[in-house]
Amino acid sequence: MEQTRAINALAPFLALSKSATSARAAADLVTQATSAAHTYVFGELLQTPNIQSLRDDAQYRNYYTLLELFAWGTWAEYQGTLPHPLQSLPCFRLTCSAQTALASTLPSLSQSQEHKLRQLTLLTLAATTTNNNPLTYTNLQSALSLDSPLALERLVTDAIYADLLTATLNPAQGIVAISSVAALRDLNPGSVTRMMASLDAWSGRCDDVLKDLEAQMKSVMEAAERRTNEEAMRAEQVHRAEANGKKSDDTADDAMEVDDGGQKMGGKKRGLGLRKR
């Protein structure tokens, strides 16, 4: 839903790009698109011919870099800094080769543009956070150049109401707990290769885990089969023992009946002998 809204918000600027045949008009269009409400994706606008032509214009090429910044850059790149401890976080690289602060080479940002770039940076940081490395007020204030916790809370609240992310503010612990992040950032062309490498590595780990699981399942099934065979053998032995015991009992009973019968006959004969006397 958020992506559809963002694409619809960009649609008027895509239409205007067709008539922005001069470099000045294309540059003005970049300013309008990056300042407008609800525009959070810019990759499609970057690919339009008239915007692409800004790359070769000595006077307005910095507007193309500005649009790149809003497409996949961060506030730290704009300022030319990646403050500790956020240095380990992945950061999208712009096509601009200079390592100096972009702020000194780009057109001045309006308040609305600064606010949007901070929101987009928040999206990037929120997408890379983990339970073991949560976003803290201190880190976010440093990464976004915000002078107070209240300013940070306002920015996060605006992002929540704009459906950019779902988060909970915890002023007591100084943590911003992220629940979900809208997929609204464009992909740096160079990031596709890194993503493919990451996916290949992840696929390899999944294959290794599956092999381990298959080996464990095979071991469990073999053990279960052995137990079943052993139980069957024990049951057969018990059955044979019970059968042999029953036969022994039957033989003993037959012998006792024969003995009892002989005693009775002997008694009868002795009785007849007494009568003769």
How does pLDDT run across 28-41, given as a tens digit for each residue? Answer: 999 999 999 899 99
pLDDT reported for residue 189: 72
Range of the domain at 159: 2-181
pTM above 0.75, yes or no: no
- Split into its structural domains, the chain has a count of 2
Which of 132, 156, 181 delimits the end of a domain?
181
- Residues 177, 194 within the same domain: no
Domain boundary residue among 181, 200, 215? 181
Q: Is the same domain home to 110 and 7?
A: yes
Q: What does the pLDDT average to over 269-277?
A: 48
Has residue 145 got a pLDDT over 60? yes
Residue 206 φ/ψ region, left for φ over 0, alpha for ψ in the -120 to 50 degree band, beta for the rest: alpha
Same domain for 163 and 246: no
For residues 76 and 208, membership in a common domain is answered with: no
Q: How confident is the model at residue 1 (pLDDT cuts 50, 70, 90)?
A: low
195 and 230 together in one domain: yes
Whether 60 and 150 share a structural domain: yes
Average pLDDT over residues 140-148: 95
Which of 156, 181, 206 is the C-terminal boundary of a domain? 181
165 and 39 fall within a common domain: yes
pLDDT at 188: 77
Q: Are residues 213 and 114 in the same domain?
A: no
Q: What's the mean pLDDT in 43-54?
A: 95
In terms of domains, do 101 and 174 share one?
Answer: yes
**Cα separation, 56 vs 69, whole angstroms:** 17
Same domain, 27 and 78: yes
% of the chain exceeding 90 in pLDDT: 50
Task: Look at residue 88 in the predicted model and tell me its pLDDT.
Answer: 41
145 in the same domain as 25: yes
Residues 116 and 224 in one domain: no
